Each structure stands twice: as C-alpha cells, then as structure tokens.
Amino acid sequence: MNHTPSPAPSLAPAALERWLTGPRFAALPARDVSQPAPALSFEFFPPRTEALEQQLWTCIRRLEPLAPRFVSVTYGAGGSTQSRTHAIVSRIVQETTLTPAAHLTCVNASRDEIDAVARAYWEAGVRHIVALRGDVPGGGDYVPHPGGYAYAADLVAGLKRIADFEISVAAYPEVHPTALSPEADLDNLKRKLDAGATRAITNYFFEAGTYLRFLDRCAAAGITAPIVPGIMPVSNYAQAVRFSGMCGASVPDWLGHLFEGLDEDHDTRRIVAAVVAAEQVRVLQASGIDEFHFYTLNRSDLVYAIAHILGVRPATAA
C-alpha cells in the first residue's frame, strides 16, 4: 500500500491572512458552579383585561419556583391602574411564596393620598416599595403636585416616616432625559439613597459597557448601595424603539440589524431576543454582576430561559 501523505491543501491568500491575523474570541468564562447563582427580581405591570390578567398569573406562577429576591408591580398615574397594582400585590402576598414590591409614584397626588396608599400597603403586609417620581400621563413636562412629594427623594423620605419600608429607587445609566447634567442626576441618585433607599434598579440598556461605566461613576461618587441592572429582553424591536425614545435608553444599530426582516416571524424573533439578552447578562455576569432585575412584560418564557442560562434553577430541584 502507498502511505505517502497527500499534500496539504493550499489556502487562498485572503483566507491565510485571516487565519494568521484575524481576531480569535475565547468563550465567555463559565460561572463557577460552586458559587451561588445570581439573585433575581422580576417586574410585572397591571394588565387591563381579564385575559391579560390570566397571562400575568401564568407568568407569576412559572417564575415563582426561581425564588426571586422580590417581584415588583408597576404603578400608573390613573386611579384604576393604582387599584390594580394594589390588588395584584395583595394577591401576591396572600397566595404565593413571593415577596412583592409595590411601585409608587408622586404624580398627580397629594402627600396625604400617597401616604394613605403606603399605609394600605403596609397593612396588607407589603414591606418593599419602589419609590418613583413617575411621568405625566400622555407625556408633557412634569410639574410637582402643589401638596405632593415633588421628586422621588422626597417620596423616599416620606415613606420612611410612615414605616420602615425597604425602598428601591430608579437609576439611569444613560442619564435621565430631563436631568440638568450627568452629575446632577448622580447627585439625585445619592439623595434618594441618603433619604433611605437601599437599592437602585436601572433603566434598561443594551450595551453592557454603558451599565459598567455607570457603576464606575457611582463608585467614584461614593455610592455603595447595589445598583441592580434592569434587563429588558426585546422581541418586538419597533416597540423597544418607541419605549426607549421616551425613557432615554439608546437602541444600538446592531440591535435593529438583528431584527431586520423578522417583523412577521414571531418565533425567530423570540429566539433572537433570547440570544441577545443571554449574551448581555453573561457579559455582565462575567464582569462580576450577581443580581439582575428583569422587565418581564408579563411573559415568562424568555426570562425563564435567561435565568436558567445564568445558573438559576427552581428552588425545589436544588
């Protein structure tokens, strides 16, 4: 038999060049499984219809075994959304093993009205409030209510006078849209923490570096409270662009490119969304972040999958 080796295939010059000099990316480091999985929290919003309420409870029940640190329910400026927030939070206390946090805002309400809502939460067994200024319904410039709490820092102080609530506040890695300057916004965050908040949850962002740089700025400003990244898995790109315009989150071109041509292809969009969010949280995890807040939009599938990728398992299977 002839054992003469066959000649090595010759590489075209461009391929050879790429082979010799092109970038080589190592995989992201795997989580050290001897360390605890990250702590999670999940945010829901009060739905408007019976069918959407069903979807919310399916979502809550699906995420419950992941034993999040807390779950929060947003608060709108209109009276009916406020009672829906209260109803959902109270039901979470009564019927689940979860610890709820109720969002509360300053918009269009006197101090007495807000204090009454806060007392009702305390009486219902709710011990955690996400204290916010809120936005004017339908847009427009915010003007404090003459007898109200003007800004979130004032609300935090007011809540602490009512009861010893655990309080979370909002933070903006890309600066709040109406802040006078990044420094003024950071001073405001400090005021909220100094008034008694113990954690900030960030507005969502799509570039991990944006959040990590913000953490550096917080540390340089002497902020030591946890600044938990708010993660928004996006499967509806047009909707994300709309939301982001209002809340000051920038949407990178690469995200638009990933969703190009998928408007009518729901299944592929969900897969792309999972990959984008998983990559984002894995980069953050590799950078040492061990707590994440998810904007669930009342849907559990993406969030459950991403939590799983982060190493979180149902409590009963531990």
Active-site residues: which are they?
43
Q: Does 105 bind ligand FAD (CB under 6 A)?
A: yes
Q: Contacting ligand FAD (CB under 6 A), which of 74, 99, 244, 296? A: 74
Q: Does 57 bind ligand FAD (CB under 6 A)?
A: no
Quick one: 67 or 152, whose CB is closer to ligand FAD? 152
Task: Please report where in the chains the tokens 């847009």 appear, as a residue.
Answer: 139
Q: Which two tokens stand for residue 80?
A: 């009916």
Q: Does 178 bind ligand FAD (CB under 6 A)?
A: yes
For the CB of residue 156, give the shortest distance to ligand FAD in the complex, in Å.
9
Q: How far apart are CA 204 and CA 200, in angstroms?
A: 12
For the CB of residue 13, give the shortest distance to ligand FAD in the complex, in Å.
52
Q: Does 273 bind ligand FAD (CB under 6 A)?
A: no
Q: Does 132 bind ligand FAD (CB under 6 A)?
A: yes
For the CB of residue 75, give the shortest distance to ligand FAD in the complex, in Å.
4
Q: Which two tokens stand for residue 139?
A: 């847009």
Q: How many CB atoms lie within 10 A of CB 54?
A: 11
Q: How far apart are CA 166 and CA 224, in angstroms?
A: 16
Q: Contacting ligand FAD (CB under 6 A), which of 41, 90, 188, 298? A: 188
Of 25-33, 56-64, 92-100, 147-155, the segment contacting ligand FAD by CB under 6 A is 147-155
Q: Does 89 bind ligand FAD (CB under 6 A)?
A: no
Closest of 117, 114, 120, 113 to residue 93, by C-alpha: 120
For the CB of residue 244, give the shortest distance to ligand FAD in the complex, in Å.
12
Q: Contacting ligand FAD (CB under 6 A), which of 42, 44, 70, 75? A: 75
Quick one: 234 or 272, whose CB is closer to ligand FAD? 234
Quick one: 184 or 315, whose CB is closer to ligand FAD? 184
Q: How far apart are CA 305 and CA 284, in angstroms?
A: 16
For the CB of residue 23, give the shortest distance to ligand FAD in the complex, in Å.
35
Which residues lie closer than 8 Å to 43 by C-beta, 6 or more apart? Answer: 71, 72, 73, 74, 230, 293, 294, 295, 296
Q: Does 298 bind ligand FAD (CB under 6 A)?
A: no
Q: Does 69 bind ligand FAD (CB under 6 A)?
A: no
Question: In this structure, what are the phi and psi dihedrals at residue 3, rounded to the nearest 5 degrees?
Answer: -100, 15
Which residues lie closer than 8 Å to 185 by C-beta, 6 or more apart? Answer: 172, 175, 176, 179
**294 pairs with which residues across the strands?**
42, 231
Distances (CA, A) of 13 to 8, 9, 17, 21: 15, 12, 6, 12
Report strand pairing: 199-204 vs 227-231.
parallel
Of 115-123, 126-134, 250-258, 264-272, the segment contacting ligand FAD by CB under 6 A is 126-134
Burial 100-126 (b: 16+ CB within 10 A, else e): bbbbbbbbebeeeebbebbeebeebeb
Closest of 96, 132, 102, 99 to residue 117, by C-alpha: 102
For the CB of residue 108, give the shortest distance to ligand FAD in the complex, in Å.
10
Q: How far apart are CA 101 and CA 121, in angstroms?
A: 10
- Annotate each residue in 201-220 with x if it binds ligand FAD (CB under 6 A) or - if it does not, as one string: x-x-----------------
- Which residues are at the interface with ligand FAD (CB under 6 A)? 74-75, 103, 105, 130, 132-135, 151-153, 170, 176, 178-179, 184-185, 188, 192, 201, 203, 230, 247
